Copies of this chain bind each other. A is one copy, B any other.
Amino acid sequence: MRPKDAFVSQIDLIAALSREFGPPPPEVVLGIGDDCAAIALDGGQILLWTVDTLVEGVHFDLAYMTLAQLGWKALAVNVSDIAAMGGEPGQALLSLGWPPQLNRALALEFARGLAQAGREFGVAVIGGDTVASPGGLTVTITLTGMVPASQMVRRAGARVGDLVYVTGYLGEAAAGLELLRCGLEIDPALAAPLIQAQLAPRPQLEAGKVLAREGLATALIDLSDGVASDLFHICQASRVGARLYQGAVPVSPRVAAAAPYLQRAPLDLALTGGEDYQLLFTSPPEASGRLFPAFLGARLGAPLCLGEVTAGNRVILETPAGEVDISGQGFDHFRLDRQAEEI
């Protein structure tokens, strides 16, 4: 048995570290607690900056993922953090923890996937560090981006009465992960796009830039942990609550079709499944007349409205059976880890 103190929640830890480091200097516009750190540069530009680590056995499993897919995804999840500020990605550094038993050909395969994502998203991988990692493969990417100071969108900024939108259907990446984990063999035409959503996510860069340029979002985040968790992050940063309507949650039709095989409720996959990397944002009702034309004009699918911002500090789901508090439910690696040990 492990003592209770041993459970380190990801969010608690960051808050505690933040207190230890004290207030940031004035040029730091955003520090700990948003998708990116943000540093004011001369000339009205903001330097966005993010870092993400993927750990073998926690964030990925080489049993169902190629090294090329891992290279792609490692960059894509960082690009998604830049998209979540309305920014344009710039350069990346790679820090690779490489297990001695993996050979050089695999390292090159990883690099090819990473380079391919770099070309796709306009990111130059310009340096890094390689270290031996006997405990398993770890991939850390740190990425810069730029956004005009007047356009940057934060998590804080949602106001009571704003509408809550996502940029696409929900739950596909989580359903894909379940398929991979269970090794289920279902109709490939159904399985392939779900697995693709899990292994090769596409960050919503263009949608983020449209929202920023047109001033359409009051708060913005990317869906890495799931709507219930990521909307709660917006609510905490904005000091508001939110109400979602079950019938309005845009469950992917593919998720609905695959859910019976997975023995999971489609709504659960859509709201608490992680890694969709769609954008979740709030926008005033009076902006909706500009919102849809802006997306359609940029050749993007229309955003989907699933609820509204309320007073309070909870995320409530309205269902036919009544209200359910879903605040903060989602994909937390430490929590998953604890559950695994308790089983």
Contact = CB atoms under 8 A, between A and B. Distances in A.
Nearest to A111: B20
Interface of A is mostly: mixed
Contacts of A198: none
Interface string A302-316: 000000000000000
Nearest to A59: B131
Contact of A58 (B114, B127, B133, B136): B133
A107 B39 contact: no
Nearest to A45: B42
Nearest to A333: B132
Given A93-B51, A132-B58, A142-B51, A126 B28 contact: yes
Interface string A87-104: 000110111111011111
Contact of A136 (B17, B30, B112, B135): B135
Nearest to A98: B8
Given A5-B105, A129-B52, A341 B100 contact: yes
B131 A58 contact: yes
Interface residues of A, number: 85
Interface string A1-42: 011011110101110110011101100101111101101011
A111 B21 CA distance: 8
A135 B55 contact: yes
Given A20-B115, A52-B95, A334 B103 contact: no
A323 B58 CA distance: 51
Interface string A74-94: 000000000000000011011
